[in-house]
Each structure stands twice: as structure tokens, then as C-alpha cells.
């Protein structure tokens, strides 16, 4: 299951804080801030999707992520590779290196990372 853009934005704030009350999440948004009811609706949907849970303290809820950012991003990238690049990491890498504005240094860093992974396998 995937998050909408607005849910992803809220999830980014929650991943950064690790645990947060509604006030903390609202404070994380830039101005103009969304309505409390909007954030509450997003949280309710994210709880239903299994991305977020909460702990009750009286009438207050402390929200926390059930899915780690790395795990979500990994599934997202793998789905994108499958959908847009015929399940080919090579096609994805080709597109990524040719169609983005990476500097020579960034490309060399990527090469070092790939070479290191090859050694480790």
C-alpha cells in the first residue's frame, strides 16, 4: 500500500520526530498550516493503512510510525523500477544517470558505492 502526497509529507514529519502529538505535527508544517481536522483525517487514513499508530495519554494521542522510512522508500523505488523500467535496475540506473543533473563527482561517488557493493557480494 502507498501513501498519498499529503500523507507522505506528514509521514516525513513523523519519521523525523519519531513520536509526536498533534501540536508537534502542526508545528512542523510551514505557514499557512493545515487545519487540525485535515491532519487528523490524514492520520486516521494512515492508521487505517497500517503506517501509523498511537498511544493514548488521557485524551491526547502520541503518534508514531509503524513503517521505517528506509523500508517505505525501498518498496517505493522497487515498485517504480518494476512499473516504469520493465523490472530492470539497469534501465533505471541508465535513466537516473543520464536524465538527472548529477555532477561528475556525484557520478564518481555512485560508482564507488556500486563497486563497494560488488566487492561485498
Residue ranges per structural domain of the chain: 5-65, 69-120
Fold (CATH) for 5-65: Arc Repressor Mutant, subunit A (1.10.10)
Which sign, positive or negative, has the C-alpha torsion 103, 89, 76, 98? positive
53 strand-pairing partners: 64
pTM for the whole thing? 0.74
Helix axis angle for 69-84 and 5-17, nearest 10°, is 150
pLDDT tens column, 11-54: 999 999 999 999 999 999 999 999 999 999 999 999 999 999 99
Closest by CA position to 22, among listed 69, 64, 68: 64
pLDDT tens column, 69-107: 999 988 888 888 888 898 888 888 888 888 888 888 998
Instruction: Please report the pLDDT score of residue 79 as a whole number.
Output: 85
CB atoms closer than 10 angstroms to residue 48: 10
Instruction: Please report the pLDDT score of residue 110 as a whole number.
Output: 87
Amino acid at each position: 500500500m502507498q501513501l498519498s502526497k499529503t500523507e507522505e509529507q506528514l509521514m516525513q514529519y513523523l519519521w523525523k520526530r519519531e513520536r509526536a502529538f498533534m501540536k508537534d505535527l502542526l508545528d512542523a508544517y510551514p505557514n499557512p498550516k493545515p487545519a487540525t481536522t485535515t491532519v487528523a483525517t490524514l492520520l486516521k487514513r494512515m492508521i487505517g493503512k497500517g503506517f501509523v499508530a498511537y498511544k493514548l495519554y488521557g485524551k491526547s494521542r502520541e503518534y508514531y510510525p509503524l513503517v521505517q522510512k528506509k523500508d517505505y522508500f525501498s518498496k517505493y523505488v522497487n515498485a517504480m523500477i518494476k512499473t516504469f523500467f520493465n523490472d530492470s535496475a539497469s534501465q533505471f540506473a541508465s535513466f537516473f544517470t543520464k536524465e538527472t543533473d548529477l555532477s561528475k563527482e556525484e557520478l564518481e561517488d555512485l560508482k564507488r558505492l556500486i563497486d563497494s557493493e560488488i566487492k561485498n557480494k
